């Protein structure tokens, strides 16, 4: 006679961990709660603030319609800030990702000390932004600037009128963009190294045998293959930069004369420092529709490209 | 149309000598197979011929010219890779057209050639697909079409069948052979599969540890192996080797038969004890021992399945024999010698 194992009824509760319909919701609950409490709620609150007359001195939820939006759009500072934000974001993406790509290409080559070089490249990521900006501040300093010292020593600028990196409006804008690009650079390097490593060796060898030189291999084979990963990096970098204020706030506080103000820093100044929460919320929300359209567009392009 | 030759090629990687003085030629229109176990240096040699690796010393000649310093694209070669190396983001049409575009071929000429090569490989209906939408066999054809389209002087194929399933591999084998006969281009084909080598090669170069052990037609390689390595690398089961004075004696399992099946004289007799048998449909493999001789590995006999096994039972001794002319003699170093 063969014996068939019987279920032990008392052990039923143990099967709780086998029940996907219980465990599934349980495991996803923290993520959903996180999104609801820390993303959705503040977002909805911001939308409400933007159509109210809420300030920290007069915390009323009085509905004022789109008045705040018109106020903000009519302001010269805001329009300047908007233009700055685009320059800052696009400029930093181009510099950061482009340099990241070339650095990644160099770091793909075998050479002694490659490991150390890779670690050093990633360093800007690991340094707290406030600390890093201190170093940049010294490099851009009106008296002790190491950049100016170098330029003067090389005879490129007049020693009596060295550039005031953080004091002249255009140069200050360039300075904050460069510093932010420097922050994005390691991310670009990592993304491109990951991309390059994912291209099969056979494909590269085939392209070489098929007569593709350096440029054709890079721009007709490698770049299209790694495009999806680069687009993700671009989306991430763009959204991250559009909403970031740290470099501007730490380096120039938006000055001189609001010439380096970006949406994040202006919103912080108006909404938090000056206490005008309603107008701060408007500034914050202003780019949301554009960002949304941009992200949707890039994600769609990505799906079409999928290989 | 041209020949391709390697002269005393050596390739040293940091610690390892991958190729150690190989000379080899594929004459115009000839199909040469590089056969060897994995890690024997055959793929490295192929990559050196292609120009993807630089040899440590030695010369590569294509059409009689030394091409050592020419980049791959200037060598007039086409290569098919083990995993095909198709461009995943391009359609089949653009994959095939790619080598022509790099040469700056005129647009209508590209169209004509792509269609010509697609027709030759029977992939016209796949031209608008992406590689990921193709089966393994279709990808392999696309890779061949891409190699063909430039009308190269030399074809290099690196284990192009190893990603196909067994059934497809057999048909692809004859297709590649047929294709090569049609285009009549010198071809070097790398494989570790002796069936592919025997079935496709005009000549086979058997490699081991970076050196060529023997080059010859499939018949020469099989019938007159240069040494014990070649003798035991080819054939399933491999050649039997038993001890003799100052060397060893070799004979193929299919030449080792019950004595009563062999008539005539000039036989070398052995007493054979069968330990176990395998029935493989068309044949039987008998495993066992020979009386009075030490064998290097288990002795096998391969009998056609229709031969009755009268009186041959496991564990019992039975008289077996080999015709004298089927015997091969190897010296103490394992090289084949004339008798005695």
Question: B80-93: per-residue pLDDT in tens?
Answer: 999 899 999 999 99
- B interface test, pick of A110, A195, A206 with most B CB neighbours within 10 Å: A206
Q: Which of B205, B228, B251 is the last residue of a domain?
A: B228
- Beta-carbon separation of A208 and B99 below 8 A: no
Mutate to test the interface with A, among B85, B92, B130, B133 (most CBs of A within 10 A): B85
Nearest to A206 among B71, B85, B150 (CB): B85
For residues B168 and B51, membership in a common domain is answered with yes
pLDDT at B205: 94
pLDDT for the residue A14: 62
Q: Percentage of residues in chain A with pLDDT exceeding 70?
A: 94
| Chain A neighbors of B103, CB-CB under 8 A | 211
Q: What is the pLDDT of residue A10?
A: 56
Return d(Cα A163, Cα A116) in angstroms, integer. 34
**pLDDT attached to residue A60:** 77
Does residue B142 share a domain with residue B110? yes
Write out the residue range of the structural domain in which residue B245 sits: 237-337
Query: Which of B228, B255, B276 is at the close of a domain?
Result: B228
Check whether A11 has a pLDDT greater than 60. Answer: no
Quickly list H helices, chain A. Answer: 20-35, 41-50, 67-74, 76-108, 114-126, 129-139, 146-153, 169-198, 201-209, 214-216, 223-242, 246-251, 263-267, 277-286, 288-305
Residue B258 reports pLDDT greater than 80: yes
- The shortest CB-CB distance from A224 to any of B89, B132, B146 is to B89
> Are A209 and B146 within 8 A, CB to CB?
no
Number of Cα atoms under 13 Å in the Cβ half of residue A129: 15
Which residues of A fall within a CB distance of 8 Å from B102? Answer: 210-213, 216
Give every CB contact of residue A252 below 8 A, 6+ residues apart in sequence.
A166, A172, A175, A176, A260
Q: Which of B183, B203, B228 is the last residue of a domain?
A: B228
Same domain, B182 and B164: yes
Instruction: Verify that B77 and B184 share a domain, yes or no.
Output: yes
Total domains in the fold of chain B: 2
Provide the shortest C-alpha distance from residue B206 to chain A (in Å). Answer: 25
Residues B80 and B192 in one domain: yes
User: Mean of the pLDDT values across residues B278-296?
Assistant: 88
What is the ipTM, given to two decimal places?
A: 0.83
The Cα B95–Cα B107 span in angstroms is 15
Closest chain B C-alpha to A161 CA, distance in angstroms: 52
Instruction: Out of A195-199, A217-221, A245-249, B4-8, pick the least confident.
Output: A245-249
State the Cα–Cα distance between residues B233 and B231, nearest whole angstrom.
6
Please answer yes or no on whether B72 and A209 come within 8 Å at the CB atom: yes
Q: What is the per-residue pLDDT for A7?
A: 57
**Between A208, A211, A225, which is nearest B88 by CB?**
A225
Does residue B336 contact residue B328 with C-beta atoms inside 8 Å? yes
Domain check: are B218 and B252 in the same one? no
Residues of A in contact with B88 (CB under 8 A): 203, 225, 307
Gap from B197 CA to chain A (nearest CA, Å)? 23
Instruction: Say if residue B67 is in the same domain as residue B182.
Output: yes
Nearest CB among B50, B72, B83 relative to A200 is that of B83
Strand partners, B100: none
Query: Choosing among B98, B114, B132, B146, which should be mutated to test the A contact, i.e. which has the most A CBs within 10 A?
Result: B98
For residues B196-205, average pLDDT:
93
Do B54 and B110 fall within a single domain? yes
Q: Is the pTM of this model over 0.80?
A: no
Q: Are A171 and A251 in contact (CB under 8 A)?
A: no
Query: Which contiguous run of DSSP H or E holds residue B309?
Result: none
Tell me the shortest Cα–Cα distance from B291 to chain A, in angstroms. Answer: 50
For every residue of B111-143, DSSP letters joined together read HHHHHHHHHHHT-GGGTTS-GGGS-HHHHHHHH
> Is the distance from CB of B240 to CB of B299 less than 8 angstroms?
yes
- Is the predicted pLDDT of residue A307 greater than 60, yes or no? no
Judge if B130 and B243 occupy the same domain.
no
Do B82 and B191 have their domain in common?
A: yes
**What is residue B60's predicted lDDT score, i.e. its pLDDT?**
93
Closest CA to A287 of A34, A83, A93: A83
Percent of chain B with pLDDT over 90: 47
Q: Residues 221 to 260 of A: which have CB under 8 A from any B CB? A: 221, 224-225, 227
Chain segment A166-205, per-residue pLDDT in tens = 777 788 888 889 999 998 899 999 999 999 999 999 999 9
Using 50, 70 and 90 to split pLDDT, how confident is the model at A6? Answer: low
Cβ contact, residue pair A210, B77, below 8 Å: no
- A169-198 and A114-126 helices, crossing angle to 10°: 130
* Minimum Cα–Cα distance from A221: chain B residue: B87
Domain of B306, CATH number, reads 2.40.50.140
Same domain, B215 and B250: no
Q: What is the pLDDT of residue A28?
A: 93
Which of A8-22, A131-145, A220-234, B260-274 is least confident? A8-22
Q: Does residue B186 contact residue B198 with C-beta atoms inside 8 Å?
A: no
What would the pLDDT profile of B68-78 be if each residue is shown by its tens digit? Answer: 999 988 888 99
- Domains identified in chain A and CATH numbers: 80-305 (1.10.3720.10)
* Residues near A24 by beta carbon (within 8 Å), at least 6 away in sequence: none
CB contact under 8 A, A203 and B89: no
* pLDDT tens sequence across A72-107: 888 888 888 888 888 999 999 999 999 999 999 999
Tell me if B87 and A213 make a contact (CB, 8 A cut-off): no
Tell me, what CATH number does B11's domain have?
3.40.50.300
Instruction: Enter the tokens of residue A73.
Output: 């759009």
Q: Is B27's pLDDT higher than 80?
A: yes
On whether both B266 and B152 belong to a single domain, the answer is no
């Amino acid at each position: 006679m063969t014996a068939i194992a019987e279920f032990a009824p008392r052990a039923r509760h143990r099967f709780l961990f086998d029940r996907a319909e219980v465990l599934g919701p349980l495991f996803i609950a923290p993520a959903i709660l996180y999104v609801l409490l820390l993303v959705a709620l503040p977002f909805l609150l911001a939308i409400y603030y933007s159509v109210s007359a809420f300030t920290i001195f007069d915390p009323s939820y009085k509905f004022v319609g789109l008045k705040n939006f018109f106020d903000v759009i009519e302001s010269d500072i805001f329009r300047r800030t908007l233009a700055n934000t685009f320059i800052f974001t696009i400029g930093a993406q181009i510099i950061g990702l482009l340099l990241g790509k070339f650095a990644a290409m160099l770091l793909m080559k075998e050479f002694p000390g490659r490991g150390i070089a890779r670690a050093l490249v990633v360093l800007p990521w690991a340094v707290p932004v406030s600390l890093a900006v201190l170093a940049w501040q010294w490099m851009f300093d009106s008296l002790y600037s190491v950049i100016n010292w170098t330029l003067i020593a090389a005879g490129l600028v007049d020693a009596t009128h060295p550039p005031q990196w953080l004091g002249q409006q255009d140069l200050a804008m360039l300075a904050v963009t460069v510093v932010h690009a420097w922050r994005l650079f390691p991310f670009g390097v990592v993304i491109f190294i990951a991309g390059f490593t994912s291209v099969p060796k056979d494909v590269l060898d085939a392209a070489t045998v098929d007569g593709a030189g350096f440029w054709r291999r890079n721009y007709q084979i490698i770049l299209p293959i790694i495009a999806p990963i680069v687009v993700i990096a671009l989306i991430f970098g763009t959204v991250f930069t559009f909403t970031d204020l740290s470099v501007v706030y730490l380096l120039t506080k938006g000055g001189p004369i609001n010439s380096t103000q970006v949406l994040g820093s202006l919103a912080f100044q108006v909404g938090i420092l000056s206490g005008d929460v309603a107008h701060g919320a408007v500034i914050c929300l202003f780019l949301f529709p554009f960002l949304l359209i941009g992200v949707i567009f890039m994600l769609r392009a990505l799906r079409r490209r999928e290989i | 149309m041209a020949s391709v030759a390697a002269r005393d090629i050596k390739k040293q990687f940091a610690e390892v000598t991958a190729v150690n003085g190989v000379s080899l030629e594929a004459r115009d229109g000839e199909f040469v197979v590089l056969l060897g176990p994995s890690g024997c240096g055959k793929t490295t040699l192929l990559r050196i011929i292609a120009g993807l690796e630089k040899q440590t010393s030695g010369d590569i000649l294509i059409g009689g010219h030394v091409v050592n310093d020419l980049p791959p694209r200037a060598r007039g070669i086409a290569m098919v890779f083990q995993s095909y190396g198709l461009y995943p983001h391009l359609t089949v049409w653009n994959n095939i057209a790619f080598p022509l575009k790099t040469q700056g071929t005129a647009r209508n000429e590209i169209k004509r050639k792509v269609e010509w090569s697609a027709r030759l490989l029977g992939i016209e209906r796949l031209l608008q697909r992406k590689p990921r939408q193709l089966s393994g066999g279709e990808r392999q054809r696309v890779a061949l079409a891409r190699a063909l389209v430039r009308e190269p002087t030399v074809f290099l194929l690196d284990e192009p069948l190893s990603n196909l399933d067994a059934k497809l591999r057999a048909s692809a084998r004859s297709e590649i052979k047929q294709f090569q006969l049609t285009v009549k281009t010198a071809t070097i084909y790398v494989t570790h599969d002796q069936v592919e080598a025997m079935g496709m090669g005009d000549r086979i170069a058997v490699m081991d540890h970076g050196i060529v052990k023997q080059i010859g037609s499939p018949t020469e390689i099989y019938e007159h192996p240069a040494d014990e390595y070649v003798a035991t690398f080819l054939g399933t089961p491999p050649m039997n080797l038993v001890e003799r004075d100052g060397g060893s004696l070799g004979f193929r399992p299919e030449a080792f038969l019950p004595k009563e099946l062999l008539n005539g004289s000039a036989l070398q007799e052995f007493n054979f004890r069968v330990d176990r048998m395998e029935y493989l449909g068309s044949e039987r493999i008998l495993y066992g021992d020979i009386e009075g001789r030490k064998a290097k590995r288990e002795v096998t006999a391969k009998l056609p399945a229709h031969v009755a096994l009268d009186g041959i039972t496991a564990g019992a001794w039975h008289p077996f024999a080999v015709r004298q002319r089927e015997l091969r003699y190897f010296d103490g170093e394992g090289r084949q010698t004339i008798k005695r």
